[in-house]
Amino acid sequence: MILASPYQQSVAEYWNREKDPVNIRLGDVDGTYHHHYGIGAVDPSVLEGPEETREQRVIAEMHRLETAQATFLIDNLGEVPTSGRVLDAGCGRGGTSFMAHERFGCGVDGVTISESQVAFATEQAERRGVAERVRFHLTNMLDTGFETGAYQAVWNNESTMYVNLDDLFAEHSRLLARGGRYVTITGCYNDTYGLPSRAVSEINARYICSVHARGSYLRSMLAHRLVPISVVDLTAATIPYWELRATSSVATGIEDSFLTAYRDGSFQYLLIAADRV
């Protein structure tokens, strides 16, 4: 059974319906469609120049920052041989999957519980001529049924907030070869402040997700033979993306919650990389 609960059903429904310009128009810039946020400094020149073309410059800039985020995640996967296999857990429309294939030439499996996302990403793979090597599956990342120990790398690019971490890392640990690499980029709440702040709760409600505490990631990884090799706080690096997004024509209304939560320290944007021991 792919959808194991009423909760998972509602998440699948959200993503099956989702066609937000903030994702489609950014993806249209170069044909790589992301479902995550951006990192890095905004090029101030996008706000200058002719008024008539400013909107398109801002969209292209947001897309550049989102692509920089996926590039940073892939940088942390280590070396993956061309003969290797990697898993994109919660692959969305396939952006990070295609970028990883371009980087390593390896086989990629992307999994999502949204039929529309599988269809969209598969169509992209065909159009790019990589459908033999980059495959998308309507599969639950908690219970993939894929071969044990077959993966050199597994990642979650902003998809861990939809699942129980112990269930997730048990499955990742099973799929990864010994010495394989796990990477996540995620928003998490700061345990220093106790439970999630109001702004974090607004984010949870907006996406039907449940962001975890920073400490929960590290405890759960260690409990499942995933030993962290780096933890990078990307909070300061993602704020410029949100500031630009807040003033853009494709803002969705959640921007102030992210900015408040990041600025008051109750929420953190982290990369965590771990080795499967």
Among 247, 252, 265, 277, binds ligand GPP (CB under 6 A): 252
Q: Which is nearer to ligand GPP, 37 or 104 (CB)?
A: 37
Nearer to ligand GPP among residue 200 and residue 273 (C-beta): 200
* Among Mg ion, ligand GPP, none, partner that 32 touches (CB below 5 to 8 angstroms by kind): none
Q: How near is the Cβ of 208 to ligand GPP at its closest, in Å?
A: 9
Q: How far is CA 248 from CA 85, 91, 199, in A?
A: 38, 25, 21
Q: Report CA dihedral (19, 21, 26, 30) to the nearest 10 degrees.
A: 60
Question: What are the CA-CA distances from residue 120 to residues 4, 58, 91, 95, 127 (Å)?
Answer: 23, 25, 11, 11, 11
Contact residues for Mg ion, defined by CB under 5 A: 22-23
Buried b or exposed e, range 151-163, using 16+ CB within 10 angstroms = bbbbbbbbbbbbb
Pick the binder of ligand GPP from 4, 9, 10, 20 (CB under 6 A).
20
Task: Point out which span in 17-25, 69-77, 103-111, 172-180 binds ligand GPP (CB under 6 A).
Answer: 17-25
The two three-digit tokens of residue 92, written as one number: 């969305």
Asked if 168 interacts with ligand GPP (CB under 6 A), we say: no
Residue nearest to Mg ion (CB): 23
- The CA-atom distances, in angstroms, between 208 and each of 13, 94, 100, 200 are 11, 21, 28, 12
Joined together, the tokens standing for residue 47 give 């706000």
Beta carbons within 10 angstroms of residue 109's beta carbon: 22
Please state, in angstroms and rounded to a whole number, the distance separating the CA atoms of residues 76 and 78: 5
Residues 207-226 that bind ligand GPP (CB under 6 A): 207, 209, 211
Query: How do beta strands 85-89 and 134-138 pair?
Result: unpaired
Q: Decide: is 203 part of the binding site for ligand GPP (CB under 6 A).
A: yes
| Residue of closest CB approach to ligand GPP | 187
In whole angstroms, how close is the CB of 233 to ligand GPP at the nearest point? 13
Stretch that binds ligand GPP, among 79-87, 175-183, 203-211, 216-224 (CB under 6 A): 203-211
Closest separation in Å from C-beta 17 to Mg ion:
15
Q: How far is the CB of 147 from Mg ion (least distance, A)?
A: 32
The single residue listed with the structure tokens 């933890």 is 231
Quick check: 28 binds ligand GPP (CB under 6 A)?
no
Shortest separation between residue 158's beta carbon and ligand GPP, angstroms = 4
**Whole-number minimum distance, CB 193 to ligand GPP, in Å?**
16
Which of these segments, 18-26, 51-59, 75-83, 129-137, binds ligand GPP (CB under 6 A)? 18-26
Looking at beta carbons, which pairs linking 198-203 to residues 24 or more positions away fall under 8 Å? 199/257, 199/258, 199/260, 199/261, 199/264, 199/266, 199/267, 200/257, 200/261, 200/266, 200/267, 202/254, 202/257, 203/254, 203/257, 203/258, 203/261, 203/267
Residue 9: contacted member of ligand GPP, Mg ion, none (CB under 5 to 8 Å, by partner type): none
Asked if 12 contacts 73 with a C-beta cutoff of 8 angstroms, the reply is: no
Q: Which residues bind ligand GPP (CB under 6 A)?
A: 20, 22-23, 35-36, 158, 161, 187, 203, 207, 209, 211, 252, 254
